[in-house]
Structure 1
C-alpha cells in the first residue's frame, strides 16, 4: 500500500517522567522509583506514531534554542519526519512533568514554553505543508488561535481534518466543529467538552451524540481498556472492544491511536479498518514504558498480528 501523507501541527515537549507507587496527594512528598527524560508532546508523539505506522509525516511546531529543542528535532528527523516547519523560538522548549503509578495511570503538568510561539502567522507561512498532506492532525497544546487557523486552512484545502481536543477544559468554539472531520477525545476530554459524565460506553455514546448535535461530523471517544465508541455520519453508533493486554504505562497510548488512525486514513483505509488498526497499535504501546519509546512500528504491529 502506498504511504499516505500526514501533517501534524502541535506541541513538542521534553517529558520528565517519574515512576512512583501511586500518584501523590496535594501537599505530599512521595518517594519515586525511577526517572527518565524522553521526547514527547502530543504533536511530537502523534507525528512519530504516524511515521512509524506507515505515513509520510511533516511536523509543524516550535522548540527553544536549547539542548531539549535540539534533541527533539533530531529525534523527529531520525524517524524520517520532515522538520522544515519546526521553528526555533525565543522561549525554552516545552516540558511535561509526568508521574506514573503502579497501576500504569499518570498525572501530567505541561509548561508550554516555545509551543506558545506557534501563531496563525506561522500557519499561514507553512500552508504549503498542509497543502501537500492527505490528513491534517491538531491538538490543543498550542494557542487556540493557531489551532483555529490550522483547522480553517486544512478545511479550505480539502484535507481530512482530525482534532484531538487535549487538553480539554470546556466546550470547543462552535465555529470549529464544521471544520473537523474526526473529533477524537478520551473519556475525560469528552466530559469536559459536553459537561456530561463519561464513565461508561453508554455515557460515551450520550456525549458523542451531544457533540454531533452541536456540529461534529464524526466522534470517536477513546475509553482505554474499554475500547473506542464511534459515532459516525450515516452509521449506527458502535463500540470497538480493545485488545486485551497487560498495561505497563499508558502514556502516549492516545497519541499512538491518533497517529495510527491518521496514517491509515491517509493510505485510503476505511474508517472501520483504521480504528481497529489504531487500537492494536495503542494496545501494544501500553505494554512498554515511555511516550515515544513505547510507540510501535508497522513491522512490529504486523508481526504481532
Structure 2
C-alpha cells in the first residue's frame, strides 16, 4: 500500500480562544502552541499512522528550521526523498480555535509556492509506483495539474482535496478520481449550496467520484449513479484542525485495503472524528490501533 502525498508542509502557530474574533476585534488566547502542519504533511502522517507506506513530495525552507520539520516527518517513517529545500521561508499557518473546536486559519505559502512542475517530473518514479496520489491546493495549481496528469499516465488513482478552494481549469477534472471538498469548498467550486447538485456538477466535469465532508453531519458520496450519506460518529470535539486531512488519508488507506465505499466512508469518519478530540494538527492524528479500538467500541 503505497501512497504519495504531494502538497504543503507548514509550521503551525495555534491559539486557543473562548470565541473566534469578529472583524476588528481583539481576543486573548488561553494557550498557544507551535507545531508541524500543512495539509500535505498532515495527510502524510495520517496515512502512515494508519498503516500505509508513504512518500512525501513538498518544499520547506533550508535555513529556518525546515530541515528539523523534515527530520520529524522522517521519524514518523515517511520517505522524504521528494522534499525540496529552498531559500524561501517554510510555509506557516496562523490558527485560531474556539472552545467548541471551530477554527479560522490564515496560511502563508512560503516554500510551498516553490514546488514546481519540474520537481514533480523529477520524482515521477515515486508517482509511477504508487497506489494513490493525494493532492491539495496549498501548492501552485500548475504543479497540481502536472501531478494529476502524470498520475493518470501511470494509472495511479488521484484524490484531490480542493482546499483552499480556487478555480480549477475544467480540463483538470477528468484526471481526478476522487475529489473531497467540504460544504464551503463545494459552493466555491460550483456556485451552489445544494450538496447533491454541486456534487453532480463535479461529476459532469469529469470527476469519477465526489465525497463532500460535512463536519459533525458526516459525509456524502456520489459517483453519479449511487449516493451514500455516512453519519458522523459522536466524540467530544476539542479542535477540528486536520480532521479533513486525516479523513482524506483514511479514504486512500481504506480503498487500498479494498474496503467498499460505504465501509471506507465510515472508517474515514471515525479517523476524522478522533482527530478532533486532541489539540493541534499532527499531534492529534490517530494511530491505527486507536481507530480499531474505537470501531470495536462503536459496534458494542
Q: TM-score, normalised by structure 2?
A: 0.96
What secondary structure sits across from 2:66 in the alignment?
A: helix
CA distance in 1, matches of 2:52, 2:223: 24
CA drift at 1:70: 2.1
Q: Superposition pairs for residues 48-197 of structure 1, below 5 Å?
A: 48-169=45-166, 171-197=167-193
- On the 8 A contact 1:5/1:263 being kept in 2, the answer is no
Query: Corresponding residue for 2:11?
Result: 14
Shift of 1:67: 4.1
Match of 2:253 in 1: 263
- 1:54, distance to aligned residue in structure 2 (A): 1.1
Deviation string, structure 1 residues 102-145 (Cα, Å, up to 9, x no partner)? 12110011000000110010111000110111000000000010
Q: 2-side partners of 1:6 and 1:27: how far apart?
A: 43
**Does the CA-based 8 Å contact 1:17-1:97 persist in structure 2?**
yes
The answer as to whether partners of 1:14 and 1:68 remain within 8 angstroms in 2 is no
Output the TM-score relative to the length of structure 1. 0.94
- 1:135, 1:265 within 8 Å by CA — same for their partners in 2? no
CA–CA distance in structure 2, aligned partners of residues 161 and 234 of structure 1: 20
Q: Shift of the alpha carbon at 1:273? A: 2.0
Specify the SS of the correspondent of 2:139. coil
Task: Work out the CA distance in 2 between the residues paired with 1:273 and 1:239.
Answer: 12
Q: Could you report, residue by residue, the CA deviation over 1:64-87 in whole angstroms, capped at 9, with x for unpaired residues?
A: 013431232012111100000011
Question: What secondary structure, in the 3-state scheme, does the structure 2 residue paired with 1:175 have?
Answer: helix
Report the equivalent of 2:216.
225
CA distance in 1, matches of 2:265, 2:157: 15
Q: Secondary structure at the match of 1:61?
A: strand
Retained in 1: the 8 A contact 2:117–2:142?
A: yes
CA RMSD of aligned residues (A): 1.1
- Distance in 2, matches of 1:233 and 1:30, equals 45
